């Protein structure tokens, strides 16, 4: 009887601890998502309701004119296409270069390997602000200022992607490489037929991160792009902010249109994140 009572008390304490953790996670999630919810409600409110007192958290009616005006005022469709194309190019190049360089650092021995590896790590420690001015001078001297080439070139390679892919490749058993060598599988075939299929969730997660890095970049497009038709969506939000009397309904409508593609992307890749977490847990 006493044993049953001890077990009951143990499970009660465990359930209470789990409940407290869940409450903490829910509160944290609400704090994180609250700015997005406020921005969403403001985007559907007319000017008078936004600045009314007492403030209203929910729109009295869905005021879609903010979206129409924001779309037309800065040619939002073109800006979204510019950001989408640039982000896809950067994502694809980062993954290709990250996979090949990570593969080389993981499975090959060559002269200067340690020096090159530490050189890659050194770039991770350099703030972006330190590299912006030299990059701008280089791109300008090459004649790529105010071009799509100049916009994406500095982001085509990533030390972070290389490092993370290398670390992932090192978790794959070496016995697979030895078995592939015995079967006459060359380095390229081993990469394409064995490593890449095993790395699907990791590559999908990195693809989303690389996409978002370029999508959310603000400083570099602001410096390198002058043509309005070539600007990215981040600069479009600034154009809305600088236009007229700073209509917050228009600004929030533009912001929601900017955030929507990233939310769709996350929903598409969410299962890969879950699978990656599960597989990483099994590797331990």
Full-model pTM: 0.84
Say yes or no to pLDDT of 118 above 70: yes
> What is the model's pLDDT at position 278?
47
Neighbouring C-alpha atoms within 13 Å toward the C-beta of 112? 3
Nearest CA among 218, 200, 116 for reference residue 159: 116
Looking at residues 32-60, what average pLDDT do you find? 84
Predicted confidence at residue 234, as pLDDT, reads 92
Q: What is the pLDDT of residue 256?
A: 93
Cα→Cα distances 137→122, 140, 143, Å: 21, 5, 10
- Res. 9 pLDDT band, cuts 50 70 90: low
Q: What pLDDT, on the 0 to 100 scale, is given for residue 10? A: 53
Q: Residue 13 burial by CB count (10 A; 0-12/13-18/19+): exposed, middle or buried?
A: exposed
Within 125-199, residue ranges assigned H as helices are: 128-141, 148-152, 159-171, 174-182, 187-190, 196-198
State the angle between helix axes of 248-283 and 233-242 in degrees (0 to 180), rounded to the nearest 10: 150
Count the Cβ atoms, other than its own, within 10 Å of residue 194. Answer: 16
Angle at CA 44, nearest 5°, toward 42 and 48?
70
Ranked by mean pLDDT, which of 83-92, 113-122, 275-284 comes out on top? 83-92
Rounded to an integer, the average pLDDT of 67-81 is 92
The CB density around residue 5, as the number of other CB atoms within 10 Å, is 9
CA distance 132 to 130: 6
Would you state the pLDDT for residue 281? 41
pLDDT tens-place string over residues 163-191: 999 999 988 888 888 888 888 888 888 89
pLDDT of residue 14: 67
Cα gap 250→264, rounded to integer Å: 22
Q: Determine the Cα–Cα distance for residues 50 and 253; give it in Å rounded to an integer.
A: 13
Higher-pLDDT residue of 1, 79: 79
pLDDT average, residue stretch 193-213: 88
Please tell me the distance from the alpha carbon of residue 233 to that of residue 259, in angstroms, as a whole number.
10
Min mean pLDDT across 85-89, 152-156, 205-209 is at: 205-209
Rounded average pLDDT over 126-141:
87
282 confidence band (pLDDT: 50, 70, 90):
very low
CATH number given to 66-283: 1.10.3720.10
CA dihedral of residues 138, 141, 147, 151 (deg, nearest 10): 0
Those residues whose C-beta lies under 8 Å from the C-beta of residue 273, and which sit 6 or more positions away, are 201, 204, 205
CB atoms inside a 10 Å sphere around CB 167: 13
Report how far residue 279's alpha carbon sits from residue 211's, in angstroms, rounded to the nearest whole number.
23
- Which tops the pLDDT comparison, 168 or 2? 168
Q: Do residues 71 and 256 lie in contact, with contact meaning Cβ atoms separated by under 8 Å?
A: no
Domain ranges of the chain: 2-43, 66-283
- The band of 283, judged by pLDDT with boundaries at 50, 70 and 90, is very low
Q: What is the mean pLDDT of residues 249-256?
A: 91
Instruction: Report the pLDDT value the prediction gives residue 273, as an integer from 0 to 100.
Output: 61
- Respond yes or no on whether the N-terminal peptide bond of residue 54 is cis (omega within 30° of 0): yes
Q: What percent of the chain has pLDDT over 70?
A: 90
């Amino acid at each position: 009887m006493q044993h049953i009572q001890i077990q009951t008390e143990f499970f009660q304490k465990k359930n209470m601890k789990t409940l407290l953790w869940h409450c903490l996670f829910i509160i944290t999630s609400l704090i994180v998502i609250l700015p997005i919810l406020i921005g969403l409600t403001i985007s559907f409110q007319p000017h008078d309701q936004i600045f009314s007192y007492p403030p209203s958290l929910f729109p009295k009616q869905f005021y879609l004119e903010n979206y129409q005006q924001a779309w037309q005022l800065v040619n939002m469709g073109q800006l979204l296409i510019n950001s989408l194309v640039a982000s896809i190019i950067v994502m694809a190049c980062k993954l290709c270069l990250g996979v090949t360089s990570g593969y080389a650092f993981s499975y090959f021995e060559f002269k200067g390997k340690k020096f090159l590896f530490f050189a890659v790590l050194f770039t991770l420690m350099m703030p972006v602000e330190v590299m912006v001015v030299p990059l701008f001078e280089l791109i300008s001297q090459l004649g790529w200022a105010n071009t799509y080439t100049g916009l994406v070139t500095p982001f085509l390679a990533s030390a972070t992607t290389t490092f993370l892919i290398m670390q992932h490749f090192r978790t794959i058993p070496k016995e697979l490489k030895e078995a592939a060598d015995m079967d006459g599988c060359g380095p390229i075939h081993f990469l394409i037929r064995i490593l890449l299929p095993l790395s699907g969730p990791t590559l999908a997660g990195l693809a989303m991160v690389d996409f978002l890095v370029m999508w959310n970049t603000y400083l570099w497009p602001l410096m390198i792009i002058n043509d309005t038709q070539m600007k990215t969506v981040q600069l479009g939000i600034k154009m809305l902010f600088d236009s007229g009397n700073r209509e917050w309904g228009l600004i929030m409508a533009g912001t929601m249109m900017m955030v929507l593609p990233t939310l769709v992307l996350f929903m598409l890749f969410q299962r890969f994140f879950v699978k990656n977490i599960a597989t990483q847990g099994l590797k331990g």
